[in-house]
Amino acid sequence: MAPPPVAIAHDPVSGPSWRDTLAALWDWRVLSLALLGFSAGLPLLLIFSSLSLWLGEAGVERKAVTFFSWAALGYSFKFVWAPLVDRLPLPVLTARLGRRRAYLLLAQCGVVAAIVGMALTDPAGGPQALTAMALFAVMLGFMSATQDIVIDAYRIEIARPEQQGLLSSAYIAGYRVGMIVAGAGALFLAAHWGSVKGGYQYQAWQWTYLVMAATMGVGLLTTLCTPEPAVSARVERQPSAAHARLLAVFLAAVLAFVAVFYLLGQGVARWAPAAGPLATLGLEAVRMAAGLAAAFAVGGGLVRLGLASREQARTTWVEPVLDFFQRYGARTAWLLLALVGLYRISDIVLGVISNVFYQDMGFSKPEIAYAVKTFGVVVSIAGGFLGGILATRLGVMRSLMWGALLAAGTNLGFVALAHAGHDLPLMYAVVAADNLAAGFSSAAFVAFLSSLTNVSFTAVQYAIFSSLMTLLPKTLGGYSGGMVDAMGYPGFFLFTTAIGLPVMVLVALARRHLEVAPRAPG
């Protein structure tokens, strides 16, 4: 017999008044999430695009830059250590600040330390310096991903589901501003202080990254000034020795994963040039599966040998997953996971090749920069707040349906642009529609994901959802270039519209399977 429907979100018939909805924009929680979003968005481009330009100016070989892709592993596998963030207290800090703020402060201090470490390392100083830079980049990715875990949990725990739309839109707005500062802002500062292609100045990049480290003070002050969620007062009560043993099991499993992943990577690097893209994807999948299998084998073996408590390990890693399936039942749980994994597929697959498309249509780099990186970002922030407001007014599931419709439908604008070619006004109209839809759907989707989580396992369940939502879209997006070659741009954009249509069916099915009602914040 299927379990009864589960209340996940507030889907009001009439909703709050517009005055109440707009007044909520000035709530301290909205401002706090915007500031925390800024500190979460800042590190991302300091690992990737800005760092890539720094390395390029420093004369680092292009193939060596790919070594820094290790820094992205933290974002992809944050669900692995999210259970520890949910369960294990930090010495001194947890007692003084509470569970969420303690980890948030630790992660932000780690982000600052990693950025400062990168600033004090000249990548042109030889192999040892480049290795040190890579290690600091990996540290930055790990600490930044940990910060994301805690902020997501904090956002869910400080407000009811019907308020998550506004909080998620504020977070997304702050996140995008942080990316602008770390992207365009860092490049402006480095150029201002004299570093250009062919005229590398280490001190210019050093001061740029030190300024970026200083801007993390926004997040640190926010962490110290905001209150701890009441629900986070529940901390796992275990002897410190038990926590230490559980942490040792986790670290051993991580080392096993890294060892197997690295060793198999040597073989993939040798075979990939002759294997082709599809075979290479298969090899990478095998490599990933082997690494995860080694990690599970080592972790499970150490638990069975008694290094850590079986009950504690089960509570930390197994119960969050079981809880999700028990609350919703297997059929509804798999439906929700399918929706989570496919909701962003339409815009992510298109987004992989959008800049190449603009170049092929004859748009210059300045035209692309102004339209996409400036105008588009502003529009996406507006779309995010619109999505948050309507999620509060109409409810999460209705906003989710509108977001799915807009994300797929606005891709048709790219078909028109593909036929028109270099048409700047049409390009701005397409960018406006695409970014408005992306901002709207992102805010509604984050509110939906927040509604799915159980406050007893907030960090780990949301980390699983946020990792799953980009897995298939990014994998499929890797083939976008080949699909364009086979179908042409108009056919490809019609394809991205078509793959978004089943998402609306999934939203409708999910809405039928779920009883929508308010949840108490505690």
Give the CATH number for residue 464. 1.20.1250.20
Rounded distance between C-alpha atoms, residue 431 and residue 379, angstroms? 9
Same structural domain, 286 and 414: no
Q: In this structure, is residue 70 part of a structural domain?
A: no
User: Do 286 and 342 sit in the same domain of this protein?
Assistant: no
For residue 131, what pLDDT is reported? 83
Domain's final residue, options 288, 308, 328:
308
Asked if residue 121 belongs to a domain, the reply is no
Q: Does 406 lie in the same domain as 345?
A: yes
Say yes or no: 498 and 358 in one domain: yes
- The residue that leads in pLDDT, 234 or 519, is 234
Burial category of 245 from C-beta neighbours within 10 Å (exposed 0-12, middle 13-18, buried 19 and up): buried
The yes-or-no verdict on residue 181 having pLDDT over 60 is yes
Average pLDDT over residues 306-330: 83
The count of domains in the chain is 2
For residue 63, name the pLDDT band (cuts at 50, 70, 90).
Answer: low
pLDDT at 1: 40
Whether the predicted pLDDT of 391 surpasses 60 = yes
Is the residue at 353 inside a domain?
yes
Q: Please determine, for residue 74, whether its predicted confidence score (pLDDT) is greater than 80.
A: no
Domain end among 273, 308, 343? 308
Point out the domain boundary residue: 286, 308, 330: 308
* Per-residue pLDDT tens digits for 143-170: 999 999 999 889 888 877 667 777 888 8
Q: Does 6 score more than 50 pLDDT?
A: no
Same domain for 367 and 506 = yes
**105 confidence band (pLDDT: 50, 70, 90):** very high
Written as six digits, the tokens of 91 are 């010495």
Percent of the chain surpassing pLDDT 70: 82
Are residues 256 and 403 located together in one domain of the fold? no
Residue 102 pLDDT? 94
Residue 455 and residue 333 share a domain: yes
**Is 459 among the domain residues?**
yes
In a domain, 345, yes or no: yes
d(CA 468, CA 21): 31
What ranges in 227-375 are assigned the alpha helix state H?
Answer: 240-275, 277-304, 310-313, 319-342, 345-360, 365-368
Asked whether residue 119 carries a pLDDT value surpassing 70, the answer given is yes
SS3 196: strand
- Based on the domain organization, do 370 and 466 belong to the same domain? yes
Q: 505: domain range?
A: 319-513
Q: How far apart are CA 190 and CA 383, in angstroms?
A: 31
- What's residue 13's pLDDT? 44
The predicted structure's pLDDT at residue 95? 87
Q: Tokens 């409810």, residue?
A: 395
Q: Check pLDDT > 90 for residue 502.
A: yes
Is the model's pLDDT at 515 over the cut of 60? no
Domain contains 484: yes
Any idea which of 47-56, 126-135, 453-462, 467-476 has the lowest mean pLDDT? 467-476
- 302 and 414 in a single domain? The answer is no
Residue 444 resides in a domain:
yes
Residue 400 and residue 266 share a domain? no
- pLDDT the model gives residue 16: 56
The answer to whether residue 26 is domain-embedded is no
Low-confidence winner among 460-469, 478-487, 494-503, 513-522 (lowest mean pLDDT): 513-522
Regarding whether 363 and 254 lie in a shared domain, the answer is: no
Question: pLDDT at position 518, please?
Answer: 39
> Cα–Cα distance between 134 and 118 in angstroms, integer?
9
Q: Is the model's pLDDT at 344 over the cut of 80?
A: yes
| CB neighbour burial string for 76-88, b if at least 16 within 10 angstroms, e if fewer | ebbbbbbbbbbbb
Q: For residue 87, what pLDDT is reported? A: 77
231-251, pLDDT tens digit by residue?
655 555 555 577 778 888 888
Instruction: Give pLDDT, residue 521.
Output: 40
Give dist(CA 102, CA 228) in Å, integer: 9
Q: How confident is the model at residue 220 (pLDDT cuts 50, 70, 90)?
A: very high
Quote the mean pLDDT of the chain: 81
Helices 127-157, 164-180: crossing angle, 10 deg rounding: 160
291 and 356 belong to one structural domain: no
Between CA 445 and CA 85, with CA 183 as vertex, the angle to 5 degrees is 50
More confident of the two residues 79 and 199: 199
